[in-house]
Amino acid sequence: MLTRISILLAIAGALHAQQMVAPTTEQVGSPRGGTLDNYNVTQSFELGYRFKTVGGDEGMYRSVDNIGNGLRLLSSGLTVNSKDGHGRYFDEILLNTIGLGNDNYQAVMLRIQKNGLYRYDMTWRLNAYFNPGLTTAGGAHFMDTIRRLQDHELTLLPQSRVRFRVGYSRDTEDGPALSTAQEFDATGSGLPVFLNVARHWNEYRLGSDVELAGFRFTILRRWDFFKDDSPLTSAGVVAAGPSISNPSDQTALQQFQRSAPIHGANPGWLGNLFSRRKSWGVNARLTYVSGHNDFALDESAAGVSQFGGAATRQIVAGGDAKRPSLAGDFNLSFFPTERLTVVNNTSITSNRIDGQSSYSEVNTGANLGTTISFRYLGVRTIANSTDLNYRVANWIGFYTGYHYSDRQIRTIEGAQTLPFDSSFNNDLYEVSDHLSSGTLGVRLHPAKPFTINLDGEVGRASNPLTPITDRDYHSINGRAEYRLKKLQFSVAYRERYNLNAPFSFTSFSSHSRNYSANASWAPNNWFAVDASYNRLHLDTLSSLAFFAGAGFRTQLQTAYSSLYLSNIHAANLGAHFGIRKRADLFTGYSITKDTGDGRATASPSGTTDPIQALLSSVQTFPLTYQSPLARLSIRISPKVRWNAGWQYYGYHEDFGLLGYRQNYRAHTGYTSVLWSF
């Protein structure tokens, strides 16, 4: 019985998993492990070799899939459990790894604990990040970096009324990249330069939980330190080339260096008070983080100006920025009857960011002086919400809520340019916004395996910050699910509409509709199938205001709008076959296809207005991304499996919106041996 449940769970897990061909999800039975002293020990290793062949844009392949060649420890696991819960130094060790060796995604998860004394959790992760940067700067913002994350959390006396916590986290990003430097004047071009990414972040935590008289009090002190010491240097001699605005642009960057170290710290406090009684509960939080950054910038560039003369530029900047940030929540819950819950929450947040920056520039021998900028951005939000959750009967329940929030944004912009101007400009602005929203939902449970959830929200904001922010919006969500042990079926619908139209010439509307259906069927332990389909629709229409013209002269354009239309069809199919308890075959297919609005070419023919032609060409971005896969796993012995798999990735853009099509197709595969004992 236990074995059958384990196999069914494993199959269900394999099917629901997003379809990555490796590591292998099939298990070698249910390992009972061995006994060492008074511990039960189980281990598993999957050692394999990956291979790939890529045709087309390999840069895009590395950005999207990034599966390489070579030997890997695709996965491994170790569990050690004391049999009586009284181990000498520990009672449990859990260790899992993914992709160690050479994969571009690697992770290690470790837990060690001794009952009642300590619990230690660690995660270590590595992501080899590659991005050709075509979207953001035409390839001039290419990145090939490695990010490593690690988190350590030690809890002392985890089961007692007084607990202590010590934690450490680290986040580093290193590697080569490109960036751009805008030279040599205000209308100059952004020219590629080399960026050696070197960012490090460390956080230390110390905290405690105390339970007393039915209240739990948590306090956490944290310190984090950030360093960005990424230098920029010349990427060789690069020229801007002619443009429509400047057909005779001769700008060329010959020498360049910039050091711009930023060092900062964010020490903070968190306090939480929690209690739950029979008819009421309280949950209060207060946090305070005092962030600051110190920075300096030293830049020198030499080359040719846009008019063909020799040009040099030296920039020196320095200063600091501070951000005291406060957030508080006070949450009161009432349970007047078994069936009714009333929760009221009041929140306040305050962010005050202020800093000053001194900027000096010497441009081709001309001293442009020093500008001292002072900036303040204060954001204060007060919010209150009340939610009621009422279960009328076991088969029906309602919930409703009302939320109100008030936000004030205060901005101060000050500047002084020396030695030309001794006066100090100091502009002060204040903006406020109020948001009211209401929610209503119903839960239906007409039969044990069948549930229906429906809810909606309506909101109105008075003065949102941006034209695309929620202003006059509503959302509707519906979900029906039929769930048995061997069969699961669900359908869902979600829509969210927003209209932000304060004035006739600046308006924004968005309509988002998601439809989804999902089915899983595992009738026995040798066959299971899982299928899902989603349709994600989004259309937005936004007024635009920009400058454009045929040549150097530009005119303000306000008669155009930006239409964006996305119709994404996403489907997944997975099937598992067990063959005479000896082998397992898994086949799967996933496809994500944005059909756009069905047009055949990026820019509809017959459009003579060049501005309209440009805007029409980016209204939709049809592409197809698909991935069939197959995996065969054969049980060699009760403890050993041999596995082999193949996965294809196909990426196809219909239009070359970014200059060219980044299409690629890749065959990837692996073979491995899984050993569990």
Q: Which runs of consecutive H residues, i.e. helices, occur in 41-174? A: 58-64, 134-137
Using rule CB under 8 A, residue 523 touches other proteins: no
Does the protein bind other proteins through residue 340 (CB under 8 A)? no
Residue with tokens 């500008």: 371
52 binds other proteins (CB under 8 A): no
Q: Could you tell me which of 573, 523, 576, 572 has the C-alpha nearest to residue 27?
A: 576
Cα angle 67, 70, 76; round to 5: 85
Instruction: Return the half-sphere exposure (C-beta side, CA atoms, 13 A cut-off) of residue 176.
Output: 6
Tell me the closest approach of the beta carbon of residue 605 to other proteins, in angstroms. 19
> Shortest distance, CB of residue 618 to other proteins, whole angstroms?
5
CA 296 distance to own-chain centroid: 30
User: CB neighbours (10 Å) of residue 293?
Assistant: 17
Q: Could you say which residues in the range 344-363 bind other proteins, by CB under 8 A?
A: 345, 347, 349, 351, 353, 355-357, 359
Q: Which residue's entry shows tokens 């000053």?
A: 356
Cβ(454)–Cβ(494) below 8 Å: no
Residue 229 CB burial class (10 angstroms; 0-12, 13-18, ≥19): middle
Distance CA 94, CA 379 (A): 44
Q: Considering beta carbons, is residue 364 or 469 the nearer one to other proteins?
A: 469
Residue 109: closest CA among 77, 87, 82: 77
Q: Give SS3 for 62.
A: helix
Residue range at the interface with other proteins (CB under 8 A); choices 8-16, 47-55, 575-583, 628-636 = 8-16
Does position 394 interact with other proteins (CB under 8 A)? The reply is yes
Please select the residue that binds other proteins; options are 48, 303, 464, 574, rule is CB under 8 A: 464
Contacts of other proteins in 502-521 (CB under 8 A)? 502-503, 506-508, 514, 516-518
Q: Is 525 in the site for other proteins (CB under 8 A)?
A: no
Which of 156, 548, 573, 634 touches other proteins by CB under 8 A?
548
Binding mask 135-164 for other proteins (x = CB under 8 A): xxxx-xx-----x-x---------x-----
Our measurement of the distance from residue 593's CA atom to the centroid of its chain's CA atoms, rounded to an integer in Å, reads: 21
- Site size for other proteins (CB under 8 A): 213
- Which of residues 460 and 580 has its CB atom nearest to other proteins in the complex? 460
CB of 621 to other proteins, least distance (A): 4
Alpha-carbon dihedral 551, 549, 555, 368, rounded to 10 degrees:
-50
Tell which positions 572-591 bind other proteins, by CB under 8 A.
572, 590
Q: CA 128, 134, 138: angle at the middle one, nearest 5?
A: 135
Query: In this structure, which amino acid lies at residue 66?
Result: N
Alpha carbon distance 149, 608 (integer Å):
52
Cβ-based neighbour number of residue 653 at 10 Å: 19
Element (H, E) at 349: strand 340-363
The pattern of x and - marking residues 260 through 289 that bind other proteins according to CB under 8 A reads x-x-x-x-xxx-x-x-x----x-x-x-x-x
Rule CB under 8 A: which of 75-114 touch other proteins?
79, 81-86, 91-92, 94, 98-99, 105-107, 109, 111
Q: Which stretch binds other proteins (CB under 8 A): 45-53, 222-230, 302-310, 639-647?
A: 222-230
Does the protein bind other proteins through residue 184 (CB under 8 A)?
Answer: no
Smallest gap from residue 630 Cβ to other proteins (A): 17
* Given 156, 265, 368, 568, the residue binding other proteins (CB under 8 A): 568
Binding residues among 631-650 for other proteins as defined by CB under 8 A: none
Is 528 a residue that touches other proteins (CB under 8 A)? Answer: no
Contact status: 55 vs other proteins (CB under 8 A): no
- Interface of this chain with other proteins, residues 116 to 135, rule: CB under 8 A: 116, 125-127, 131, 133-135
Determine, following the binding rule CB under 8 A, whether residue 603 of this chain makes contact with other proteins.
Answer: no
Q: Given the complex with other proteins, which of 474 and 580 has the nearer CB atom?
A: 474
Q: What is the nearest approach in angstroms of other proteins to the Cβ of residue 82?
A: 7
Instruction: Determine if 43 is a binding residue for other proteins (CB under 8 A).
Output: no
Q: Which is it for strands 268-276 and 340-363: parallel, antiparallel or unpaired?
A: unpaired
User: Could you report how far apart the first and last alpha carbons of the chain are, in Å?
Assistant: 21
